[in-house]
Amino acid sequence: MTDKANGEVTQGETRGETRDLTHALPENDAVTHGGQESHLYNRDVQAWVRKAANRGIYDIRGMGAKRKVPHFDDLVFLTASASRYPLEGYRERCDTRTVLGARNAKRPLELDTPITIAGMSFGSLSANVKEALGRGASAVGTSTTTGDGGMTDEERRSSKMLVYQCLPSRYGFNPDDLRRADAVEVVIGQGAKPGGGGMLLGQKISERVASMRTLPAGIDQRSASRHPDWTGPDDLTIKIEELREITDWEIPVYVKIGATRVENDVKLAVKAGADVVVVDGMQGGTAATQDVYIEHAGIPTLAAVVQANAALEELDVKGEVQLVVSGGIRTGADVAKAIALGADAVSIGQAVLLALGCNDHVWYKDGKTPVSAVKDYEELGTKPGMCHHMQTGRCPVGITTQDPELEKRVDPEWGAKRVRNYLQVLNMEVATLARACGKSDVHHLEREDLVALTIESAAMAKVPLAGTDWIPGVTGF
């Protein structure tokens, strides 16, 4: 919460404050002040209610779920020892090559790493950032993804492999860009807002963004939540076929879902003909949506990957249809655990923004000299480390903005290097863990390599609680 959490806010003030209802305040003043703070109606809740009463409109913000939910941190690897032997950490080969979309496409994506960059729109991100992502990803042999604003020439030029999203809004969607894409991703939902459409508030609708989206500049724009030309899985089958016909069956078709009824949705996506299913858990980020969606809709990524994998196993399409998992993937350990639970690859959004300086207290002038951004965070009513204000378009470090001055805060060359470095570290970490588990290919990581530290994560991941052979819901009670 920010220091505006006392509810003394007025209409028209910076939008996008959020509240944290998941923890009570640390101190209780019962003794000194003759009262007692309610757990249910703690001061955060009280402030939120006053704010709602004051504003009459709900909170809109960026990033993903901030509440604590079971995650990959709750799992650890049983690396090799006497019963299995490890590979030499530095010398022995451990393959990270990842092929996506060979099921029906003539030209599947051949990546050097299982780590890809998730869809983020031009409009929410600046052109410089899009370019940095493309160049950074290309340097490590992976793909980037367009977003809810169409494809820009900058990102096409800078991305060796570019996945073109087909979203409900269809902003800027056109056959020329479709034909120059390396894959197309039909987005049904997003982990941050499954069942909801995106938003882009007026301050980010610059002339260029407006013209790409065919909208008046400066309006508060709400993207549709359903596709305009199909509804339901049977129609999706036909839609996917149409995309294949238009692209002469050359490029893979991904289907992306927000993690809710994952088993059913994955099965329907596979039946509809998807080459790749992308499952985005509730921690997945967004540039702007209602806070109530971000924190209260969808299931954690950990649970989602397990259910998605079960669906693929049941349909007997493992190896034929690839699973890409996103939503809170931050480290090589997260990647390795996702793969061990059944993912073929992951995609990353928020963490690459962090790599570019999101939430840092400084930005780097010309990619070199650090300049404090603390005042700019303060102007948004927040501080470094706490920010989720992309909806304002006033990103203190110049990432999620269309402001010509602010966007200069990310130098594309500097940014490309940061993204490359970050992805490289993740890839090295995955391979390190895989070697330690005795695998010569990161995709050989398996569920048996994992145990859980908590009962919840054991139940969700369907792996034993560490030191026991107990898998809640599977073995015993």
Contacts to ligand SF4 by CB under 6 A: 62-63, 353, 358-359, 387-390, 395-397, 399-400
> Minimal distance in Å, beta carbon 390 to ligand SF4?
4
Q: Are 191 and 284 in contact (CB under 8 A)?
A: yes
**Cα separation, 254 vs 85, whole angstroms:** 37
Q: Considering CB distances under 5 to 8 angstroms, the limit depending on partner class, which of other proteins, ligand SF4, none binds residue 387?
A: ligand SF4
Q: What is the dihedral of CA 190, 196, 197, 198, to 10 degrees?
A: -70
**Cα separation, 454 vs 451, whole angstroms:** 9
> Minimal distance in Å, beta carbon 127 to other proteins?
21
Q: Considering CB distances under 5 to 8 angstroms, the limit depending on partner class, which of other proteins, ligand SF4, none binds residue 456?
A: none
Q: Considering CB distances under 5 to 8 angstroms, the limit depending on partner class, which of other proteins, ligand SF4, none binds residue 246?
A: other proteins
Of the pair 202, 473, the CB lying nearest other proteins is at: 202
Helix (H, G, I), strand (E, B) or coil at 91: coil
Q: Are 182 and 163 in contact (CB under 8 A)?
A: yes
Of the pair 168, 285, the CB lying nearest ligand SF4 is at: 285
Q: Considering CB distances under 5 to 8 angstroms, the limit depending on partner class, which of ligand SF4, other proteins, none binds residue 358?
A: ligand SF4
**Cα separation, 63 vs 75, whole angstroms:** 24
Of the pair 388, 462, the CB lying nearest ligand SF4 is at: 388
Of the pair 311, 395, the CB lying nearest ligand SF4 is at: 395
Q: Considering CB distances under 5 to 8 angstroms, the limit depending on partner class, which of other proteins, ligand SF4, none binds residue 276?
A: none
Of the pair 288, 373, the CB lying nearest other proteins is at: 288
Of the pair 66, 271, the CB lying nearest ligand SF4 is at: 66
> Minimal distance in Å, beta carbon 379 to ligand SF4?
11
- Residue closest to 134 by CA, chosen among 94, 182, 97, 98: 182
Amino acid found at 23: H
What is the rounded radius of gyration, in angstroms, for the C-alpha atoms of the chain? 22
Of the pair 3, 248, the CB lying nearest other proteins is at: 248
Q: Considering CB distances under 5 to 8 angstroms, the limit depending on partner class, which of other proteins, ligand SF4, none binds residue 202?
A: other proteins
> Minimal distance in Å, beta carbon 440 to ligand SF4?
38
> Minimal distance in Å, beta carbon 347 to other proteins?
25
Of the pair 99, 224, the CB lying nearest other proteins is at: 224
> Minimal distance in Å, beta carbon 388 to ligand SF4?
5
**Cα separation, 353 vs 285, whole angstroms:** 10
Q: Are 394 and 401 in contact (CB under 8 A)?
A: yes
> Minimal distance in Å, beta carbon 64 to ligand SF4?
11
CA of residue 381 relative to chain centroid, distance? 25
Helix (H, G, I), strand (E, B) or coil at 162: strand
**Cα separation, 64 vs 388, whole angstroms:** 9
Helix (H, G, I), strand (E, B) or coil at 321: strand
3-state helix, strand, coil in the chain (%, to 5): 35, 15, 50
Tokens of 313: 């196993």
Phi first, then psi, for residue 235 (nearest 5°) are -65, -35
Q: What is the dihedral of CA 422, 62, 333, 255, to 10 degrees?
A: -100
Q: Are 362 and 370 in contact (CB under 8 A)?
A: yes
> Minimal distance in Å, beta carbon 275 to ligand SF4?
31
Which residues in this chain contact other proteins in the complex, by CB under 8 A? 11, 15, 55-57, 169-171, 173-175, 178-179, 201-202, 213-216, 219-220, 222, 224, 228-230, 235, 238-239, 241-242, 245-249, 290
Of the pair 45, 178, the CB lying nearest other proteins is at: 178
Q: Considering CB distances under 5 to 8 angstroms, the limit depending on partner class, which of other proteins, ligand SF4, none binds residue 465?
A: none
